[in-house]
């Protein structure tokens, strides 16, 4: 007979090994899935996880890891503040979109003016757009007790409709012969998020992601605010006795996550994407949730998890091109990673008992 037994305290060993076990299980079950699709499982797994790093074309793929990983890390760092405090922002995708819209709007408004101040203004507008969108579920939670999970998630679909409206209407390129989409910001030097080092993939979004990792590490481990965030998440009642304002904590954590998601959207629209388009958003806000949990809500862990998830994006594109793997299979692989992470994470707080004998 198999039963679950509550541990006296969380297992540090399982907390560290859980992400690795989740990745291994994802590879195993993913291989079975690929075999069912008629693909060689070993070749497919190698293509997804190793070819971007070690193939003959790795020099071309590696900069893409920075480009794909930066927005994931930036958004996940913001989410980690809220998740640690028990504030569940599931709508980072909407905040990412709004940051892109607001930042691009500033850049397009100054077209064709040339000034070094335009891009910094776009950065501020992008952060503000994400922050303002995150404040909607925050204020509703504080004032009316609504569920921030549902509100933030529903606002994603509102943001997507606004994105389509902008691409087809107010932001549409007047010289685009009627096609949807804004002007290409990447061709507008004052509004472009250009590579800082040629062919390196290093742009301001990557720099912002690294700064966010350092800021989060110092704040969560060395600052009183980090202690208050952890306390609010682990014991809300104790946090009240310690003088932590629950409403203020909700607004601050949602504000941080919204602003960082908005920054990710701005750096993407001014760089790799280049323009506001109907299909601008590619699910980074949702994938960042996987990154945050895979990284154990720790800044360094999130940095590593962001690199791994970027690997699945690049490797998935290679597998689609070279092996004819369906794009949906890659999305399923990413979803399985979160599923196995949550499933195996149970062993952090529980041990499995087998009959009268051993335990895990």
What is the C-alpha separation between 10 and 19, in angstroms, rounded? 15
Prediction pTM value: 0.92
Rounded mean pLDDT, 94-123: 95
Task: Supply the mean pLDDT for the chain.
Answer: 91
With tokens 């000034």, the residue in question is 115
What is the C-alpha separation between 218 and 243, in angstroms, rounded? 22
What is the C-alpha separation between 213 and 298, in angstroms, rounded? 9
What is the C-alpha separation between 159 and 14, in angstroms, rounded? 39
Identify the CA nearest to 248 among candidates 87, 88, 126.
87
pLDDT at 357 over 60: no
% of the chain at pLDDT higher than 70: 98
Distances (CA, A) of 336 to 68, 161, 196, 329, 349: 20, 29, 35, 10, 21
Q: Max alpha carbon distance in the chain (Å)?
A: 76
What is the C-alpha separation between 105 and 100, in angstroms, rounded? 8
> What pLDDT does residue 125 have?
97
**Partner residues linked to 3 by β-bridges:** 353
């Amino acid at each position: 007979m198999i039963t679950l037994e509550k541990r006296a305290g969380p297992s540090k060993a399982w907390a560290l090994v859980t992400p690795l076990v989740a990745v291994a299980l994802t590879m195993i079950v993913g291989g079975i899935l690929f075999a069912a699709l008629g693909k060689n499982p070993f070749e497919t797994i190698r293509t997804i996880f190793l070819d971007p790093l070690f193939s003959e074309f790795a020099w071309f793929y590696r900069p893409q890891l920075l480009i794909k990983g930066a927005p994931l890390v930036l958004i996940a760092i913001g989410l980690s503040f809220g998740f640690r405090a028990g504030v569940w922002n599931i709508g980072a995708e909407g905040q990412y979109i709004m940051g892109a819209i607001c930042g691009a709007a500033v850049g397009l408004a100054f077209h064709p003016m040339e000034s070094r101040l335009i891009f910094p203004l776009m950065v501020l507008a992008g952060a503000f757009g994400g922050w303002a969108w995150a404040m909607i579920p925050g204020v509703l939670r504080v004032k009316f007790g609504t569920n921030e999970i549902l509100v933030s998630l529903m606002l994603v679909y509102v943001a997507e409709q606004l994105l389509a409206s902008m691409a087809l209407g107010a932001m549409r390129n007047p010289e685009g012969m009627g096609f949807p989409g804004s002007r290409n910001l990447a061709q507008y030097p004052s509004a472009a998020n250009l590579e800082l080092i040629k062919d390196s993939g290093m742009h301001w979004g990557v720099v912002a992601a690294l700064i966010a990792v350092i800021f989060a590490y110092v704040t969560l481990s060395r600052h009183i605010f980090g202690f208050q965030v952890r306390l609010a998440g682990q014991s809300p009642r104790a946090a009240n006795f310690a003088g932590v304002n629950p409403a203020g904590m909700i607004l601050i954590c949602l504000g941080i996550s919204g602003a960082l998601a908005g920054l990710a959207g701005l750096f993407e629209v001014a760089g790799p994407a280049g323009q506001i388009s109907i299909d601008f958003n590619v699910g980074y806000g949702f994938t960042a949730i996987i990154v945050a949990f895979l990284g154990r809500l720790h800044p360094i862990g999130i940095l590593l998890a962001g690199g791994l998830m970027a690997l699945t994006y690049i490797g998935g594109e290679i597998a689609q091109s070279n092996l004819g793997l369906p794009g949906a299979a890659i999305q399923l692989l990413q979803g399985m990673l979160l599923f196995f992470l949550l499933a195996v994470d149970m062993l952090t707080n529980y041990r499995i008992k087998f009959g009268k004998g051993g335990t895990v």
